[in-house]
Amino acid sequence: MAREADLSSSREGLLKHGAATLSRDSLDNYSSSSELDLDELELLEGQTSPRPRGEWSPSKRKKKDNGKEKEHKRAQKAKRKGGWLRSKICWVVSAILLGGLLVLLGGFQTFVYKKPQPMDGLSPPWYPSPKGGTYLQWQKSYLMAATLVSKMSLVEKVNVTTGTGWASDLCVGNTAGAFDAGFPPLCLQDGPLGIRFADHATAWPAGITVGATWNKDLMYKRGRGLGLEHRLKGVNVMLGPAMGPMGRMPGGGRNWEGFGSDPVLQGIAAAQTIRGIQDEGVIATAKHYIANEQEHFRQAREWELPNAISSNIDDRTLHELYLWPFADSIRAGVGSIMCSYNMVNSSSACSNSKLLNGVLKDELGFQGFVQSDWLAQRSGVASALAGLDMTMPGDGLIWADGQSLWGPRLTEAVLNGSVPIERINDMALRTVAVWYQLGQDNQTLFPIPLEGNPRPNFSSWTNDKMGHLHESTDDDTMVVVNNFTDVQGDGKNFHGRLAQEIAAEGTVLVKNKDNILPLSPSGGPEHARGRRRAKYNVGVFGEDAGPNPKGPNACADRSCNDFTLASGWGSGAVEFPFLTPPIEALESTFDLDQVQITQVLTNDLPNDWSAVHGTQDLCIVFITSDAGEGFASWNHITDRIDLYPQKGGDDLVKKVAASCANTIVIVHAVGAVILERWIDLPNIKAVVLANLPGEESGNALADVLFGRVDVSGRLPYTVGKSLSDYGPGGKIMSKPNGIAPQQDFKEGLLIDYRHFDANSITPRYEFGFGLSYTTFTFSDLNLKTLKPKTLLPSPRPNATVLPPTFSTLLPDPETAVFPAGFRKLKNYIYPYLDNSTIKPEPYPYPSGYNTPQPPSPAGGGEGGNPSLYDEHVSVSVNVTNTGKRTGKQVVQVYVSFPSDVTDVSTGRKIDFPVRVLRGFEKAEINATETTTVEVNLTRKDLSYWSVGRQNWVMPDGEFTVAVGASSRDLPLQGSW
Ligand code: NOJ
């Protein structure tokens, strides 16, 4: 297939200016209360919707039009006045019902509020917001930023903090800049596996595939490629990598955007990706902060509820599991963090002062800026006080209505004294400091957008050359918006080569009976190759082997599972410049003089298929399982409610295997898939879990199947025998348990393999598992103490640098008023006020606002107290390749904490998972050779989070360090 941009299919979906229509119910008129419960929900359902109980799946929502602008349309629709009912009749009925509801809410409060608070209560207050500019490694950038910010007027500072509105400019998120002071508009663009809505850019393997490589070097190189492409397209801030969801629920719709169900794997992969992106000068965004584990109810209104789900999580679990990769990201210098849609302990993640001010900015010493997920900001002043620095895309509670919670409201809030001027200074300063820190003041690398030369050089809203600069506004001027700049590299620097290498290394072989793999191009297993008299017959089965006749971008944001699957869907998906289907690579690799390929590229196979298509010597059968972001759905799916293959995959495999003695199954999937319906059938010789390979899917698969590379992917998640094996916490909450659904993370630290280990459940394939084409042994484990065991990290170091200071005088409100003759675009968000009548007034600050919090003892550096990263133990091991070919092995290091640990501060016994991954290295080893691999363990690796001390504690007692090839194949153990 030609490596040409195939955008024809997505062109059909180009946004027709102003053509949006309603697609999704909106509950704009519902009052918002996080304390209503299921009983009230039943009441609401009964009153407002003819929908029978239990039908809350997104399938019941209206099907959206396809096309590039789907999310934009949703935004347009949601802003329509009363857009949640279509007909006037419904209006009348709903008005009556709403009246009834209000009466109930107002008059029967005892009924409404009868249920207690959620189990884990509310998030504690943490004020005031720590200022940025406290570390040496950021000092220069902060000093330059301070000079620039001191030149900014109040409205310019507001411009830096507030997006211009959904689709108001060319990227999915845009700020307007501060031209007079010399600060440009910023373009923020998805996403984690490539540039969303862009042409001629690489569709990289998804995060989950990258996690499956366990290859730190490839993680960095992919980040570098992502960074370079974003920069060449004119993106300042890349909206990735994703490290939450972590994978608490194997069916989580967006798990595939991240790197696997373990904090250390996520943390290392995220940090390597960030280093790569930022080494190209692009600001990376660690997202989604935090505990955004499922799509159902993630966002207010999207799921027909007025509130988002609350992830209720205890302090220790937060620190040891979900926060871990964010800490690693901050330590890697990440410039931005995106707070998530969901609530955490009943406080919205983007207005949660404990999480933003306390944990991120104090304890983890985050020096960058916190941006909201798109419409995740749920309050104005409160979110500013809680530590949010930038609101995206600028719209407030409703998409694209031009009514920001900040913008002019923030200007007003500063002038009337409700947002302290120090806070807005810090908000602008943090963003400008990151811009300097990443070298974006270098105008050769980041040209300043000028009239006639807009940046970025592509538009998110059209695939045509000409388009609107301000799509969602009333400005109809057409200019060149797409330059079609090719950023994929060429020759030996063609990024597809790296994408292919990653996809191949992210492929996991879990079964290989009789060493049927690798195959020989002349047919059959490589070890049995030889010339035959008759042609060798290979049957290729399943839709997933073939290309989509409508092109790889036929479904908007890739939100369908049609033909070969190489990406999940949503904002984390991109336009494929091309997609090599497996069948094409198989046809070009098999020697067709010796091999006859029969293609049956459908999942709809008759039982007697061999009578129709002929007997096959070898059968390769392809199946899939897909999922994606909650704003879209396919076949009733966003999160996966079950983990079985989709589109009749199980039946397809069984039918093929029933008549084919040598069946190889290839699974393209967003995560774990239950294989139990056929895995033990004798004719199933090999099973390959190819995850989500991106544009080079077929070529990468052929590299593995034909042994052009060793198969070296290892599972970044557990493949259980059933969904219930993952425990109660592993199930998606698909029906809300209240009007603000409450999801208690009761399993604590025990997700994925930790749950299986703790409950002695045998998985089908354990976390970390994967076969190679060669064999390895481990020997000579050596644990060397680098630093002695001590209970606590060193005291928090004092700040060596003081944050810049600014005048605290409030500006004259007159300076914040729209300049005379200003041409306002409809829906565009400006920082200006209509008049200058604002005066400072007393403001009821949130409770706890006037109780300054003590600095966390776990803080004092980027990612936390620097002594947490001191290396205490060196683990070294010899790995020998005992086979006949070069191969790659992942050396995995797991730690078991001492038994009988009691926390001194609380007197409570501390329970630990059976073992936790704490480090890994991938080594390439020639046949018969031995390599020594070393992994060092830090204080943090050997500590637990003490809720009583609010610090990391290295317990006394004996640690077990186990080394091997997976979480259950650990031949070497030592004590420390
Ligand atoms: C919402 C998604 O959750 C986030 O990941 C993405 O970056 C924004 N939309 C912008 O598209």
pLDDT digits (tens, 9 = 90+) for 471-514: 999 999 999 999 999 999 999 999 999 999 999 999 999 999 99
Q: 503-515: per-residue pLDDT in tens? A: 999 999 999 999 9
Decide whether any atom of ligand 1 lies within 6 Å of the 172 Cβ: yes
Q: At what angle do helices 421-437 and 154-161 cross, to 10 degrees?
A: 60
* Residue 467 pLDDT > 70: yes
Ligand 1 atom closest to 292 (CA): 3
pLDDT band with cut points at 50, 70 and 90 for residue 449: confident
Residue 199: the pLDDT is 98
Instruction: Give the range among 110-114, 664-668, 707-711 with minimum mean pLDDT.
Output: 110-114
Sheet holding 916-925, edge to edge: 916-925, 887-896, 960-964, 972-975
- Atom 1, ligand 1: residue with shortest CA distance: 374
What amino acid is encoded at 748 in this protein?
G
* Residue 16 pLDDT > 50: no
Residue 96: the pLDDT is 53
Q: 237-296: per-residue pLDDT in tens? A: 999 999 999 999 999 999 999 999 999 999 999 999 999 999 999 999 999 999 999 999
* Residue 20 pLDDT > 90: no
Residue 672: the pLDDT is 98
Pocket test for ligand 1, best of 166, 395, 629 (most atoms within 8 A of CB): 629
Specify the pTM. 0.90
Per-residue pLDDT averaged across 808-812, rounded?
Answer: 95
pLDDT above 70 coverage of the chain, percent:
87
Pocket test for ligand 1, best of 288, 342, 558, 571 (most atoms within 8 A of CB): 571
- Ligand 1 centre distance from Cα of residue 261 (Å): 21
- The mean pLDDT value of the chain amounts to 89
- Atom 4, ligand 1: residue with shortest CA distance: 373
Q: 69-114: per-residue pLDDT in tens? A: 444 454 444 333 223 333 444 454 455 555 554 444 443 333 333 4
Residue 701: the pLDDT is 98
Decide whether any atom of ligand 1 lies within 6 Å of the 298 Cβ: no
CB 296 within 8 A of CB 638: yes
- Atom 3, ligand 1: residue with shortest CA distance: 373
Q: How many residues does the chain have?
A: 976
Residue 97: the pLDDT is 56
Residue 107: the pLDDT is 39
* Residue 689 pLDDT > 80: yes
Residue 530: the pLDDT is 67
* Residue 312 pLDDT > 90: yes
- Give the residue among 649, 644, 627, 647 at the shortest CA–CA distance from 722: 644
Residue 542: the pLDDT is 98
Residue 98: the pLDDT is 55
CB 920 within 8 A of CB 935: yes
Per-residue pLDDT averaged across 359-364, rounded?
Answer: 98
> Comparing 98 with 972, which gets the higher pLDDT?
972
Residue 448: the pLDDT is 80
Per-residue pLDDT averaged across 163-182, rounded?
Answer: 96
- Ligand 1 centre distance from Cα of residue 938 (Å): 33
Per-residue pLDDT averaged across 772-793, rounded?
Answer: 98
* Residue 121 pLDDT > 70: no
pLDDT band with cut points at 50, 70 and 90 for residue 65: very low
Decide whether any atom of ligand 1 lies within 6 Å of the 571 Cβ: yes
pLDDT band with cut points at 50, 70 and 90 for residue 451: low
pLDDT band with cut points at 50, 70 and 90 for residue 452: low
Query: Which residue of the set 373, 426, 544, 941 is catalytic?
Result: 373
Backbone conformation region of residue 67, classed left if phi is above 0, alpha if psi is from -120 to 50, else beta = left
Q: 876-886: per-residue pLDDT in tens? A: 999 999 999 99
- Ligand 1 centre distance from Cα of residue 944 (Å): 32
Per-residue pLDDT averaged across 547-551, rounded?
Answer: 97
Angstrom distance (rounded) from CA 536 to CA 547: 24
Is residue 373 part of the annotated active site? The answer reads: yes
Cα-to-chain-centroid distance, residue 683: 38
Angstrom distance (rounded) from CA 587 to CA 547: 13
Decide whether any atom of ligand 1 lies within 6 Å of the 376 Cβ: no
Ligand 1 atom closest to 257 (CA): 5
The two three-digit tokens of residue 805, written as one number: 């200071």
Instruction: Give the range among 57-71, 89-103, 644-658, 896-910 with minimum mean pLDDT.
Output: 57-71
- Atom 8, ligand 1: residue with shortest CA distance: 374
- Atom 6, ligand 1: residue with shortest CA distance: 571
CB 556 within 8 A of CB 197: no
Decide whether any atom of ligand 1 lies within 6 Å of the 287 Cβ: yes
pLDDT above 90 coverage of the chain, percent:
84
* Residue 687 pLDDT > 80: yes
* Residue 57 pLDDT > 50: no
Helices in 716-816 by DSSP H: which ranges?
753-758
Q: 370-384: per-residue pLDDT in tens? A: 999 999 999 999 999
- Atom 5, ligand 1: residue with shortest CA distance: 571
Pocket test for ligand 1, best of 373, 375, 559 (most atoms within 8 A of CB): 373
Residue 531: the pLDDT is 63
Residue 925: the pLDDT is 98
- Ligand 1 centre distance from Cα of residue 376 (Å): 10
End-to-end CA distance of the chain: 56
Decide whether any atom of ligand 1 lies within 6 Å of the 240 Cβ: no
Ligand 1 atom closest to 631 (CA): 1
- Ligand 1 centre distance from Cα of residue 571 (Å): 6
What amino acid is encoded at 503 in this protein?
A
- Atom 11, ligand 1: residue with shortest CA distance: 571
Residue 6: the pLDDT is 30
Interior CA angle at 484 toward 481 and 486, to 5°?
A: 145
- C-alpha dihedral (703, 706, 709, 713), degrees to nearest 10: 80
Decide whether any atom of ligand 1 lies within 6 Å of the 373 Cβ: yes
pLDDT band with cut points at 50, 70 and 90 for residue 945: very high
Helix (H, G, I), strand (E, B), or coil: what is residue 502?
Answer: helix
Decide whether any atom of ligand 1 lies within 6 Å of the 374 Cβ: yes
Decide whether any atom of ligand 1 lies within 6 Å of the 190 Cβ: yes
